Structure 1
Amino acid sequence: MGVIDASSRRQLLQLAAASAASLWLPRRAWSQAPFSRHPFTLGVASGSPTQDSVLLWTRLMSPSLQGQAVTVRWEVAHDEQFKRIVQSGQAQALAELAHSVHVEVQGLAPDRWYFYRFMAGDAVSAIGRTRTFPAPDAVVARMRLAYASCQNWQHGYFSAYRHMQDENLDAVLFLGDYIYEYPNSKTSVRPATGGWVLTLDDYRERYALHKSDPDLQAMHQACPWLLTWDDHEVQNDYAGLQEGDSGSGVPDFAARRAAAYQAFYEHMPIRASVLTQALAGLATGAEMRIYSRLHYGQLASFYLLDARQYKDPQVCTRGAKKGSSTVNPANCAVWNDPARSLLGAQQEGWLDAEFGKAGRQWNVLGQQSLMGQRDFRPGPGQLLWNDGWDGYSAARTRLTDALRKNAVANPVVLGGDVHENWVGHVKADYARADSPSIGVEFCGTSISSRSAGHEKTAERLAENPHFVFADAERKGYGVVEFTPKGLTTRLRVVDDVRQAKTAVETLASFTVQAGQPHVERV
């Protein structure tokens, strides 16, 4: 794997932009392949919704495709029978982009549900359902959002998505670790194909494996997704340009990261505009601008953050290794170094500027990890994790200071990564017991990934009193319902991820009143 140079990145950007544009070719000009099997086996998806547009995605899979470009037709309709078609067009599925299709449909009505499908030759995809968001100035009565993260194929089934389909959602917020890059292990519930995921072909194969899950496919068909990423889309514990704690022996991490980024684009319902930064910062080998802000009328704004691509390396990892570990901050001289960042200076500046434009709505930060301080050591002294916000305490203080400086109303932090449910308060200063609460936090468990430990909940909360709830065992997702007066969050958990079919229940429910940065269990 060689480093991807500027011309290769420019070509990738041009191909992505061209394939995302809608075409209209006469039938004689359609490029077709004789499919040896149904080409839409990975399903369909939608994402990046705005008040008047949405991104539609699919990927063709068939051994007969080889390097051919294929003309894919698409339709958007008011009804599931496609009798009232709103828009239609054609797009090119290019071999250079794994025959993925990204169609940016413009000119739609705000706050509307639509149906969509793709066609190639005589093959027709599954029907997807998507929606536009309300206009930023629209008065909105409610929104229902699920948040989820961490779906390790080997650790179990994605059966949580089967139940998520019944939640009547407006959107899904996925917070990272869509795939895992590990080889198969002896403890796998269902084996993964291939070994370590290292090359572009490896990443494409692993995404195809994950996307073959029928419950995941069905949830993508049900509503639009808002997406960010974490480390396993590339490699465990990677930080910016530094390789993490892998064990895979990668000789060229920059090339591996570039391959992973391309595969992420190829398989996610995200816009080609995320690749515009591929022409900047050429020393990085690759860059994707995935942080953004979305509006849901006057009810909520969503700030999707990238806490992996620009972060400084973890410090004081035990054994002088790369990657993460728990650390006693008293023994780490650079722990509070203000020069270190989790988001990077440019994203920090962007976020501060966006906070300056925040209204009185719910202001929701969708980011990868646990925001609040989590002390693993009972009694005197501290033991903190250096890969999350605890390991970047000065950067966390800059974020909370920005919230306070800009008087951001109703901050809500949603996170993942830790494979455990944590619910609590965002504090201005976690070192002070009397520090005011400036927001609330819901850090979700995993879809299937195993937890590191099962400490007693009472002990965990005693060491971390800014949290009101913690659970390290159950797997599933969270559902938040926003209204102008308040929000309600339910932690939905399945009985057993080792089973393809399993029951679901509500582990706990919480409310937050608008204007009051306090969470209460109900």
Structure 2
Amino acid sequence: MPVSGENSPLTTSRRTVLASGAALGAVAAAATALPLAASAAQGAGNPSTGEVFTLGVASGDPDPYSVVLWTRLAANPLAEDGLGGMRGTVEVEWEIARDERFRRIVRRGRERTNADAGYAVHAEVAGLAPGTEYFYRFRAGRHVSPAGRTRTAPAFGVFGSGLAMSFASCSQYEHGYFTAYRHLAADEPDLVLHLGDYIYEYKADSYVSPTGNVRDHSGPETETLANYRQRHAQYRTDTDLQAAHAVAPWLVVPDDHEVDNNWAGDVYEKPEIPQPNFIERRANAFRALYENMPLRRHSKPSGSHIRLYRTVRWGALANFHMLDTRQYRDDQACDDGWKVCADAADPARTLTGDEQEAWLIEQFRRSRARWDVLGQQVFFARRVNASGATSMDSWDGYRGSQERITEGWLDAGVRNPVVLTGDVHTHWANELKANYADPDSDVVGTELVTTSITSGGNGADSDPNDDNNLKLNPHIKFRNNQRGYVRTRITRDEFRADFRVLDKVTEPGRPARTRASFVIADRNPGLTEVAPPLGRV
């Protein structure tokens, strides 16, 4: 099978996949240990072996003066011990420059990594200029990484010229090729949000899409630290995913599959089947998550707990409130699934936990941003099916949380609340209502839901004239069941969203198109459908 980015018809710019063949300049002594002999399996998503930067580079969580730079060393990414064919302690150098040729280097530094860190590197680079584009790369001994592009946030109080932001979710490696990530990179966003299900925990062929699996997971279902490290590495070898990471800084939050399907707090997916090691499993998953994401040190896990909810400010333009809707929630009501369930309305039930809820409402009160954006995982708007049932895994299953968060942004006078969502493998555009039982009640916010990158296989287009989801839920204005991502452009006056789709993910390199575009106007919650922007597909 070809690598998912090879022989692609896509035309990419110099910033889409940034290569670095030059030496780093003045560098220190070689790494204190060399990798074991590389023997990674060749196949879809695997670059050539014999190097240590086979998992690419990434950056994340920018503020006006600093950003996290990330890489992870792996000469043999699929090694069963999860250590990528590495041994000993390795010294890794990094540098960040104002230009892609690295002629204007502004910062250099060194980090040490070893087996205890999974051979990951997190460099928090400070002393940068606000609202500025940078390029970065790493070196370990004779090995030089590809280069990445990153950006700092504007200074506090500064609007800037606008923000190009894309968001994505749900990339099941077996279900398709990651071509949507390649298209996302080609758009050259300033910022990327990933809203969960970055990896999937299943062993090969235990989760088969309707269109069939096109490639296999390595290893068993993930439970041990070695399992999770190996699985993250397998996903990271995909060159389309590497391109998306290299093009812009990311803000990430996990959902369920980074640990176990539909887990909730201390409760695993199937409580009827004993899983006595679940807390240890969750700790392993969180440790591997941190090792493989460009997160700041304050997100480093402590045992089975990880602090992931945080606000990232983009000048005066937007606050991104990144939420954790798994770790603190009550168990799903009525044994999960789609149910008519009285317990879902119990105001004592929580999706966010009391501490995170209070933190978020306080963020609303303090906000002076033009747009307050919730980056989170599960469906926020009310959504009923023909039998009147709602999803117990979504905010509908935690009605008290749903109502308190909505009331929180209303009481705080948030100027423009926008909820961004993943999880459901389908594009949706929703207006959030003060009272969903009254179709004429006020629109109090907007929700944009991204489909999956691959999860669920190819999918199919949806006919808005024959869609019960829209008929039963008039506040839902759009639904599409193809794969893709959402591309946005945020300015002082509007928040524009393009719903991007691919006709197939079971064939690498397929083209993408904009299926629908909507605008949210400043101080006017709700959706207006518009034509795609001129000159962009």
Query: TM-score w.r.t. structure 2 length?
Result: 0.86
1:67-100 CA deviation, whole Å, 9 max, x = no partner? 4110001111111121111110110112101100
> What pairs up with 1:341-360 in 2 under 5 angstroms?
341-360=350-369
Q: Name the structure 1 match of 2:525.
A: 517
State the distance in 2 between where 1:248 and 1:179 align: 23
Which one is further off, 131-140 or 98-107? Answer: 131-140
Of 118, 142, 147, the residue aligned with 1:127 is 147
Give 3-state SS (helix, strand or coil) of 1:289's partner. Answer: coil
| Native 8 Å contact 1:32 1:120 kept in 2 | no
| Native 8 Å contact 2:318 2:370 kept in 1 | yes
State the distance in 1 between where 2:251 and 2:368 align: 21
| Native 8 Å contact 2:287 2:300 kept in 1 | no
1:452 Cα offset (Å): 12
State the distance in 1 between where 2:459 and 2:221 align: 25
Q: Name the structure 2 match of 1:446.
A: 452
1:312-357 CA deviation, whole Å, 9 max, x = no partner? 100112xxxxxx310013xx3x221111100000000000111001
1:66 Cα offset (Å): 4.6
Of 376, 384, 387, the residue aligned with 1:375 is 384
User: Residues 451, 514 of structure 1: CA spacing in aligned structure 2 closer, same or farther, 3 A cutoff?
Assistant: farther
Of 90, 94, 110, the residue aligned with 2:110 is 90
1:471-493 CA deviation, whole Å, 9 max, x = no partner? 2x210000110111112110010
1:40-69 CA deviation, whole Å, 9 max, x = no partner? 000000001000000000011135955411
| Native 8 Å contact 2:458 2:482 kept in 1 | no
Of 337, 342, 355, the residue aligned with 1:325 is 337
1:401 Cα offset (Å): 0.6
1:457-483 CA deviation, whole Å, 9 max, x = no partner? 431101011111112x21000011011
State the distance in 2 between where 1:136 and 1:150 align: 32
Q: Name the structure 2 match of 1:33.
A: 34
- Residue 494, structure 1, aligned to residue 511, structure 2: no
Q: Name the structure 1 match of 2:199.
A: 179
Q: Name the structure 2 match of 1:410.
A: 416
User: Residues 245, 499 of structure 1: CA spacing in aligned structure 2 closer, same or farther, 3 A cutoff?
Assistant: farther
Q: Name the structure 1 match of 2:134.
A: 114
Share of identical aligned residues, percent? 41
Give 3-state SS (helix, strand or coil) of 1:335's partner. Answer: helix
1:266-299 CA deviation, whole Å, 9 max, x = no partner? 10010111137x2xxxxxx521111111111111
1:247 Cα offset (Å): 9.7
State the distance in 1 between where 2:86 and 2:31 align: 17
State the distance in 2 between where 1:80 and 1:360 align: 32
State the distance in 1 between where 2:31 and 2:425 align: 46
- Residue 478, structure 1, aligned to residue 486, structure 2: yes
- Residue 230, structure 1, aligned to residue 231, structure 2: no
| Native 8 Å contact 1:33 1:65 kept in 2 | no
| Native 8 Å contact 1:237 1:245 kept in 2 | no
1:141 Cα offset (Å): 2.2
State the distance in 2 between where 1:189 and 1:286 align: 33
User: Residues 195, 248 of structure 1: CA spacing in aligned structure 2 closer, same or farther, 3 A cutoff?
Assistant: farther
User: Residues 154, 106 of structure 1: CA spacing in aligned structure 2 closer, same or farther, 3 A cutoff?
Assistant: same
State the distance in 2 between where 1:301 and 1:161 align: 24
Q: Name the structure 2 match of 1:22.
A: none
Give 3-state SS (helix, strand or coil) of 2:182's partner. Answer: helix
1:249 Cα offset (Å): 6.1
Greater percentage in helix = 1
Unaligned runs of 5+ in 2: 1-25, 38-49, 77-83, 531-537
User: Residues 451, 218 of structure 1: CA spacing in aligned structure 2 closer, same or farther, 3 A cutoff?
Assistant: closer
- Residue 69, structure 1, aligned to residue 82, structure 2: no
Q: Name the structure 2 match of 1:199.
A: 224
State the distance in 2 between where 1:139 and 1:481 align: 13
- Residue 48, structure 1, aligned to residue 61, structure 2: yes
- Residue 259, structure 1, aligned to residue 259, structure 2: no
The AA in structure 1 aligned to 2:215 is: R
1:2-49 CA deviation, whole Å, 9 max, x = no partner? xxxxxxxxxxxxxxxxxxxxxxx9946952325633100000000010
| Native 8 Å contact 2:197 2:255 kept in 1 | yes
The AA in structure 2 aligned to 1:459 is: N
1:435 Cα offset (Å): 2.1
- Residue 158, structure 1, aligned to residue 178, structure 2: yes
User: Residues 246, 448 of structure 1: CA spacing in aligned structure 2 closer, same or farther, 3 A cutoff?
Assistant: farther
Give 3-state SS (helix, strand or coil) of 2:345's partner. Answer: coil
How many residue pairs get aligned? The number is: 478
Q: Name the structure 2 match of 1:189.
A: 214
| Native 8 Å contact 2:188 2:248 kept in 1 | no
Q: Name the structure 2 match of 1:386.
A: 392
Give 3-state SS (helix, strand or coil) of 1:518's partner. Answer: strand
Give 3-state SS (helix, strand or coil) of 2:479's partner. Answer: strand
Give 3-state SS (helix, strand or coil) of 2:243's partner. Answer: helix
Unaligned runs of 5+ in 1: 1-24, 279-284, 318-323
State the distance in 2 between where 1:208 and 1:371 align: 32
Of 468, 474, 478, the residue aligned with 2:477 is 468
| Native 8 Å contact 2:35 2:52 kept in 1 | no
Of 46, 53, 73, the residue aligned with 1:60 is 73
